[in-house]
Amino acid sequence: MDEVFKALADASRRRLLDSLNARNGQSLRELCAGLDMARQSVSKHLAVLEAANLVTTVRRGREKLHYLNAVPINAIAERWISRYDRERVRALADLKAALEREPMNDNPSFVYTTYINTTPERLWQALTDPAFTRRYWGVTFTADWTAGAGMTWEQEGVTIADPAQVVLESEPYRRLSYTWHNFTPELAKAFGMSEELFARMADEPRSKVTFEIEPAGELVKLSVVHDGFTPGSAVLEAVGGGWPHILSGLKTLLETGEALPQPS
């Protein structure tokens, strides 16, 4: 955590994080323009933030987009905020965010990076093998994990099959991408969705998720990008709250052999 505190100690780096918090997925050029900082200074500060895992990057053509990664800050909260106080802190933070939020991001997506003490082969197995996915995610996939292959999801006793649910990219131990499931009345009932929420989700374009696996010394770096959303997406709001628990469960299972309890 020393790198995190060092990174957060500089006001300019905090401004960069604030900028990404307001509008995630910015290029170096956009960050420089928005903060009126020299390109060289921004690059140096971003390097420190990336080293502390507070910022993660995703390539989009020739551009490198920068995303706020809240994993290290969440780890600090988990270490020093008791479970009793955590709910009060979260409620106040959610209220503050709701009052201050402005719909600024015209390219909404979820980006998350974590480091896991495992191997690329083991991580790939955990992302694709139902024996693993049902333990930390509660989902069973049926797929042969080749590009273009169809996928069937089973969750909460509901089977979701659709021709558009497909594997988009598959490079074992390196990269996996697939389209997200569609939303059915059965799934909405299983999750207790309101009719209004179900209608919103079912009406949205299909999103996709991509997993990038990279060796990082004795660890493996896992980057998750879930995109393809429209501004104000109800699905993005839902997965933004769900992915951190899923990926924490994945990390815990691979490192300890124990699964986290599923959220109620």
Q: Of the candidates 162, 59, 55, which has an alpha carbon nearest to the alpha carbon of residue 112?
A: 55
Buried b or exposed e, range 51-75, using 16+ CB within 10 angstroms: ebbbbbbbeeeeeebbbbbbbbbee
Helix (H, G, I), strand (E, B) or coil at 258: coil
Give SS3 for 123: helix
Say if residue 102's pLDDT is above 50: no
Dump pLDDT digits (tens) for 157-216.
Answer: 999 999 999 999 999 999 999 999 999 999 999 999 999 999 999 999 999 999 999 999
Min mean pLDDT across 39-53, 58-72, 76-90 is at 76-90
Q: Which of 37-46, 59-68, 117-126 has the highest mean pLDDT?
A: 117-126
* Mean of all residue pLDDT scores within the chain: 85
Q: Residue 146: which residues within 8 A CB-CB, separation 6 or more?
A: 167, 170
User: Rounded to an integer, what distance in angstroms lies between the CA atom of residue 28 and that of residue 119?
Assistant: 32
Long-range contacts of 77-81 (CB under 8 A, 24+ apart): 79/1
Mean pLDDT of 75-100: 52
- The CATH number assigned to the domain with range 108-256 reads 3.30.530.20
CA distance 206 to 116: 29
Report the predicted TM-score, pTM, of the whole model to 2 decimal places. 0.71
Task: Give residues with Cβ within 8 angstroms of 18, minimum separation 6.
Answer: none
pLDDT of residue 80: 61
Q: What is the CATH number of domain 2-83?
A: 1.10.10.10
Domain ranges of the chain: 2-83, 108-256
pLDDT at 260 over 80: no
